Structure 1
Amino acid sequence: MAVHVLHYLHQGRPQWGVIADGAITPVPGEFRSTAGFIEANPVERLLVLDGPRIPEPDVQWLSPVTANQQFICQGANYRQHMIESGMDPDVKKFNMIFTKATSCIVPANSHVVKPDAVRFLDYEIELGLVLKRDITSRETVTDENLHEYIAGAVIVNDYSARDIQIPQMQFYKGKSYRTFGPVGPYLCLLEKHDIPKLKELVLTLTVNGTVRQNDTTAGLVYGPAETLTELSGVQNLHTGDLLATGTPSGCALSIPSPLKQRAAAMLPEAEKWRLFLKMQEERPQYLQVGDVVEAQIVSHDRSINLGVQHNVVVEEAA
C-alpha cells in the first residue's frame, strides 16, 4: 500500500508526517534530509503509525526533497514533446540528461519568480522519482527489481527560461533560477506491488484554469529502469536523490520543424536566433506575472495521489 508523506513546518519546527484525509500523523524524529527520512522510515513502519493528528491547513508545506540531494532531469522524454521541440523521435536515439541547481527547489505552493531578464517563462509538469538506495557502480535495473531502487514519487514543475535555455544552449542556467523547481506537496512512498502503477499515472497542468498539458506516464520513451541503468554507468546516485522524468507535450515553447531548422542553420548565428525569438513572441502561452499554474499527478485508481501544486507567477523584487 502506498503511503503519502508530507514535509512541513509546524510551530516553527520542520517535521515529517503521514497524510491521509486532510490530516497529518507526525513521524517521530528529526530528519535533515530526504535520505535520512527514507532510511529511517520503511513503508511498513509508516503503515502502522499512530498518534495525534494535525489538520493540514495548520502547517506550512516544505519540499519533500531537500536541497542537499541531487536534482537530475530527463529532457524530451515523451514522443509528442519531442516533436513539438523540433526533434524527430524516430531519429533521436539517446536519453537526454541534465541537472538543475538544488537552490531552485521550493515547496509546491511557492510563488514562481519571473526574473526581469527572462522574456519566455515556460512550465513543464513532470513525474519525479526519489531514490531508495545509493548506486555507486554500474548496475542493471529492470522493471522486476525497480522497487529496490525507487522509494517514491513526487510532482516536479521544471520551470524554464526558454530565451536562456535555447539560444544560449544553457539548460542548467535556463532551468535553475531560484523558485524554478517546485517539488511536492506529497512524497508517495511505494511498496513493490505499487511500482507498476508508475506506468499509468495521469499528469495534468493548467494555467489560469485552462488545461495545457494532459498525458499519462505510459508515454515515457526512456523509463526509470533504463534510465537508472544508464546513469549508474556515469555517476554516483544516493538515497533521496530526485530524478525528474520529462514533460509531456503542451509547453509554450515553439521550435521550427526539422526542415526549417536545416534552413536556419545556413543563416548567420545572430539572424537564426533573432528569428527564433520572434517566433516565441507570437506564443501567448508563455507565463506572465499573475498567472496561476496548477499541476496534479494521480493514478487511475487514485491510490497514488501526489497532491496539487499551486504556483502564482510574480515579478522579481527590486
Structure 2
Amino acid sequence: MAVQVVHYALDGTPAWGVVHGRRIAPLSRSFASTADLVGAGLDEAWASVPAQATLALDAVTLLSPVTSDRQFICQGINYASHVRESGMDPDKIPFNTLFTKAPSSLASSQAEVVRPAHVRLLDYEVELGLVMRRAMTGPVTVEPHALHEWLAGVTIVNDISARDVQLPQVQFYKGKSYRTFGPTGPFLLLLSPAEWRRWPDLHMRLQVNGQPRQDAYCGDMIFQPHKTLTELSALHDVQAGDLIATGTPAGCAARAPGKFAMWMMRRVLSDSTKWRLFIQKGLSNPAYLQPGDVITASIRTDDGALDLGEQRNKVVAP
C-alpha cells in the first residue's frame, strides 16, 4: 500500500514522518534533504504503522517534500489537451520539451504565492512531480515496468508562471522561477512496483476560488515517464531526490489566439506590437490569478488508493 511521507516543522525544527489518517508517525532520524531521506529513510517509512502516529497533522507546519538543494526539472507541452488548447496538433509534437526551474521557487502546499509587482498575467499549472530514487549519470534505457527502480515517489507540483515574462521575453526559466512559484506536496507518495503501473490513473484537479479550472488524468501525457527518464539520462545528470514536473493539462488561464490572429501575429505584426497586444488582451482575462485568489490542487486515483493530498495556496501581493 502506498505510503504518504510528509516533511514538516514542529516548533521551528524540520522533520519527516509518515501520515496515517490525520496523524503523523515521526521518522526516527532527521534528514537534511530529500536526497538523504531517499538514501536512508525509505525502509523505515515503508515499515511505519498507525500505532506510531503520535503527532496531529494539524499541529505542524508543512514544508515542501522536495528540498531546495535538489534540481527542479520540467516538461512543457506534454499533455495532448494542453497542446490542443495552445493551437497545436498533439500528433505533431516532434520532441520532448525540457527546461529547468529554480529550486528556490519551491514552496509548501500551504504557502502564499507572491505575485511580483511587475507581473500582471499570473498563471497556474497542476502537474505530477516525479522524485528520483537513485542517480542517473549516464545513458540508460528505462522500461515502463521499471519505474520503481529509478523513482522514489510522486508529489503534486503547481508550476506557477508569469506569462507576461515567460512568453514575450521567451524565458521559461525566468518567468517560472520567482520565489514561491513552485508549491510542492503536501505528500511524497511512495509507490510499490504494482502501484507505479497505475500512474496513468492519477486524476489531477485544480480550482481557483472553488471554480474548476483543470481536470485530467495523467494518462494524457505525450512523453511518458520512462521515455523522459531515458532521454534525460543521455544528456543530464540527475541525482536522488531531484524533482521532475511532467507538464500540465488543458485549463490554464493562457489561451492561444484564433487562427486569423495567429496569422496576423506571424506575418504582419512586429514582435513588440504582438506582445503588447497579447498583454493587453490578457489583462481582460479574469482567469489570471489576482491577489486574494485561493488555488486548490489535488491528485489521486478515483478509487482513493493513491492519494497525493491537496494543496491550498493563496495569492498575495509583495
User: Do both share a fold (TM > 0.5)?
Assistant: yes
Q: CA deviation at 1:225?
A: 0.2
Q: Normalised by the size of structure 2, how large is the TM-score?
A: 0.96
1:246-261 equivalences under 5 Å are: 246-257=247-258, 260-261=261-262
Equivalent in the alignment of 1:31: 31
Equivalent in the alignment of 1:171: 172
Q: CA deviation at 1:194?
A: 0.8
Equivalent in the alignment of 1:160: 161
Tell me if structure 1 keeps the 8 A contact 2:79–2:248: yes
Q: CA deviation at 1:46?
A: 2.5
Secondary structure class of the residue paired with 1:90: helix
Tell me if structure 1 keeps the 8 A contact 2:27–2:44: no
Tell me if structure 1 keeps the 8 A contact 2:27–2:45: no
Q: Distance in 2 between matches of 1:292 and 1:59?
A: 21
1:31-50 equivalences under 5 Å are: 31-43=31-43, 46-49=46-49
Residue 93 in structure 1 maps to residue 94 in structure 2:
yes
Q: CA deviation at 1:44?
A: 6.8
Equivalent in the alignment of 2:315: 313
Summarize the Cα distance change of 1:220–1:305 in structure 2 as closer, same or farther, 3 Å threshold: same
Moved more, 96-105 or 262-271: 262-271
Equivalent in the alignment of 2:276: 274
1:163-201 superposed Cα distances (whole Å, 9 cap, x missing partner): 000010010000001100000001101111110111110
Residue 287 in structure 1 maps to residue 289 in structure 2:
yes
Equivalent in the alignment of 1:203: 204
Summarize the Cα distance change of 1:169–1:72 in structure 2 as closer, same or farther, 3 Å threshold: same
Summarize the Cα distance change of 1:140–1:259 in structure 2 as closer, same or farther, 3 Å threshold: farther
Q: Distance in 1 between matches of 2:114 and 2:101?
A: 16
Moved more, 78-87 or 139-148: 78-87
Q: Distance in 2 between matches of 1:24 and 1:184?
A: 15
1:12-161 equivalences under 5 Å are: 12-43=12-43, 46-49=46-49, 51=52, 53-161=54-162
Equivalent in the alignment of 1:191: 192
Summarize the Cα distance change of 1:84–1:62 in structure 2 as closer, same or farther, 3 Å threshold: same
Residue 220 in structure 1 maps to residue 200 in structure 2:
no
Tell me if structure 2 keeps the 8 A contact 1:297–1:305: yes
Amino acid at match of 2:289: L
RMSD: 1.4
Q: Distance in 1 between matches of 2:144 and 2:190?
A: 17
Summarize the Cα distance change of 1:116–1:182 in structure 2 as closer, same or farther, 3 Å threshold: same
| Dislocated runs of 4+, deviation >6 Å | none
Equivalent in the alignment of 2:303: 301
Q: Distance in 1 between matches of 2:27 and 2:259?
A: 52
Q: Normalised by the size of structure 1, how large is the TM-score?
A: 0.96
Tell me if structure 2 keeps the 8 A contact 1:254–1:280: no
The percent of aligned pairs where both chains have the same amino acid is: 47
Q: In the comparison of the two structures, how many residue pairs are matched?
A: 316
1:113-169 superposed Cα distances (whole Å, 9 cap, x missing partner): 011100100010001010110000000011121110111010000000000000100
Q: CA deviation at 1:34?
A: 0.4
Q: Distance in 2 between matches of 1:259 and 1:95?
A: 28
Amino acid at match of 1:123: Y
For structure 2, the 5+ residue unaligned runs are none
1:278-316 superposed Cα distances (whole Å, 9 cap, x missing partner): 231231100111001000000122121111100111001
Secondary structure class of the residue paired with 1:134: coil
